Amino acid sequence: MMTEKHPLQPFLPQNSKALFLGSFPPSRERWSMEFYYPNFQNDMWRIFGLVFFDDAKHFEVDGKKVFDRTKIIDFATSIGIAFYDTAAEVIRTKGTASDSDLKVVKRTDIKSLLRQLPECKSIVCTGGKSSELCAEYFGIAQPKVGKRVGFEVDGKAISLFRMPSSSRAYPLKLEKKAQAYAKLFEQINLTCN
């Protein structure tokens, strides 16, 4: 089986207060754009749309099954959110987008990402696999869904949040996921300018 290297560069705006970490992008044929959470079936950008604009379709391109990459990047940059994944290289054991079918070959050096984000005090894991890998990386307990664990990196206090997965395979309604993320953004004091 072939290994896949991460196809995207870390997205690290200098003003980022939160680093969002998924597990690994789906295979390219599932992408609707060249950015994080690119699968149109994934609800991450609908969650952001509901939380910040009260509109699940805010980041969708009208009449097309794609997300508006420029709008997303402008938003994430203005609000201060960074994106990457916990795995830098994987093998898809069954060729699916499911986290359970990912064999991690190389983990992400999360500390090196944090060192590039001087204002970042929160890591947000967007699913079980990413929070498991992140907790193992830092040698800390994995938080329960919707909860946080505090720890230190290079003398700086960091909170690790484990959020409900934005995948439609995760058994929670979109509105309930948005409520959980809204609570997170309130906790870390992230608001839309």
Answer yes or no: are the C-beta atoms of 16 and 145 closer than 8 Å.
Answer: no
In a domain, 192, yes or no: no
- Domain with residue 17: its CATH number is 3.40.470.10
Distance (Å, rounded) from C-alpha 46 to C-alpha 32? 14
Per-residue DSSP letters for 78-94?
Answer: HHTEEEEESEEEEEESS
In a domain, 156, yes or no: yes
Model pLDDT, residue 97: 63
- Closest C-alpha among 134, 128, 126, 107 to residue 166: 126
- DSSP class of residue 103 equals E
Model pLDDT, residue 27: 85
Contacts of residue 27, defined as CB under 8 A and 6 or more positions apart, other chains included, come to 4, 92, 95, 97
Model pLDDT, residue 16: 96
3-state secondary structure of 60: strand
Model pLDDT, residue 100: 74
Model pLDDT, residue 92: 85
Model pLDDT, residue 102: 81
In a domain, 131, yes or no: yes
In a domain, 107, yes or no: yes
In a domain, 56, yes or no: yes
In a domain, 193, yes or no: no
In a domain, 74, yes or no: yes
In a domain, 143, yes or no: yes
User: H or E element: which one contains 21?
Assistant: strand 18-22
DSSP H stretches of helix in the chain = 44-53, 69-79, 110-115, 128-138, 174-187
How many separate domains does the chain show?
Answer: 1
Cβ count near 40 (within 10 Å): 17
Model pLDDT, residue 192: 66
Model pLDDT, residue 66: 94
Contacts of residue 179, defined as CB under 8 A and 6 or more positions apart, other chains included, come to none
Angle, helices 44-53 vs 69-79, to 10°: value is 60
pLDDT per 10-residue tile (average), the chain, 193 residues: 90 97 90 94 95 96 94 96 95 74 90 96 93 95 93 94 90 92 92 65
Q: Which domain holds residue 39?
A: 4-187
